Amino acid sequence: MSDIATQTTTPSNSSVVLEVRGLVKEYRKAGSPFKRADTFEAVSNVSLDVRQGEIVCLLGESGCGKTTLARMIMHLTRPTAGTITLNGCEMQGLNERRFRPLRQYIQMVYQNPFDCLDPSRRVGSLLEEPLKLWHPELSKEERTRRISGMLQECGLDESCLVKKPRQFSGGQLQRLSIARALLVDPKLLIADEIVSALDVPIQNQILDLLVRMKEEHGFSVLFITHDLSVARKVSDRVIVMHRGEVVGFGATDELLENPSDPYIRKLADSVFTFEGCPD
Ligand SMILES: Nc1ncnc2c1ncn2[C@@H]1O[C@H](COP(=O)(O)OP(=O)(O)O)[C@@H](O)[C@H]1O
Ligand SMILES: [Mg+2]
């Protein structure tokens, strides 16, 4: 394991929820369907840990491999090499049937809320679905009680239940996506560019909600963004990716305020320039 990989991880005795070691995903280059030599690594030897109750940010430009990494953790994309351990349970090699019990422990919220909220269904049914799936022991009344409580915690009310997703604003849809993900008490929430399509004031509301819910419920977050200012607002630690590789890591303030790596300095400089511009 490289030096960088070793240091993005944590000592074995700390409370690690997610452990990723030497993860690789190789894809064929576009237009080269046959030659094995014509492949590239979308994710290249990435190792990281997420501890209980922390928000770790995966920061990097578009195309650097963030979503591919998330999809491997979600068991949606098969790694070329490496291991993923969730709550002490190694996931590679598990078929879908054996992975299924673990699925409720990792939930994902996407940039596009329609990736998890079917626009043709009412919100009540969309919120009830994961509870029926993962908690079949709950009565209808208990499900309704949990959903009402979660909506309230997420700044929504029961009038949502009869509406369809297209009747909501972007910010409300992300509140609903977060509510749906948290209803099953995940240990790890993967948030993939969840505020990228929102205006800054709404972004801030959603980030505040995420941090507050994390404090109250104690789950961990792998927060994926290309936006350094967003990373600074929410994360305890940050891991910077560039072209599939980890190029930097550390406590968010330390790393982003005194960047030693030239690529991170470039990222930081572009944000400071942007923030310095008048509206
Ligand atoms: N299914 C796929 N087949 C081939 N290439 C892919 C596939 N998915 C993603 N890629 C490529 O892998 C790289 C990383 O993509 P992605 O993980 O989506 O980056 P990010 O989320 O950081 O924007 C990009 O070059 C992308 O075009
Ligand atoms: Mg992405």
Sign of CA pseudo-dihedral 137, 180, 187, 18: positive
Judge residue 57's burial from the number of C-beta atoms within 10 Å of its C-beta, 0-12 exposed, 13-18 middle, 19 or more buried.
buried
Long-range contact set of residues 155-159: C-beta below 8 Å, sequence gap at least 24:
155/205, 155/209
Query: What is the chain's pLDDT, residue by residue, as a tens digit (279 residues)?
Result: 444 444 566 544 459 999 999 999 999 887 766 656 689 999 999 999 999 999 999 999 999 999 999 999 999 999 999 999 998 889 878 888 888 888 889 999 999 999 889 999 999 999 999 999 999 999 999 999 999 999 999 999 999 999 999 999 999 999 999 999 999 999 999 999 999 999 999 999 999 999 999 999 999 999 999 999 999 999 999 999 999 999 999 998 888 887 777 888 887 776 544 443 333
Q: How far apart are CA 19 and CA 277, in angstroms?
A: 40
Q: Which atom of ligand 1 is nearest to the CA of 244?
A: 14
pLDDT for position 5? 44
CA 136 to chain CA mean position, Å:
26
- C-alpha 270 to ligand 2 mean position (Å): 20
Judge residue 27's burial from the number of C-beta atoms within 10 Å of its C-beta, 0-12 exposed, 13-18 middle, 19 or more buried.
middle
42 lines ligand 1 (CB under 6 A): yes
In testing the pocket of ligand 1, which one of 27, 108, 227 has its CB within 8 Å of the most ligand atoms? 27
Q: Is the pTM of this model over 0.95?
A: no
pLDDT for position 14? 59
pLDDT for position 53? 95
Q: Which atom of ligand 1 is nearest to the CA of 77?
A: 1
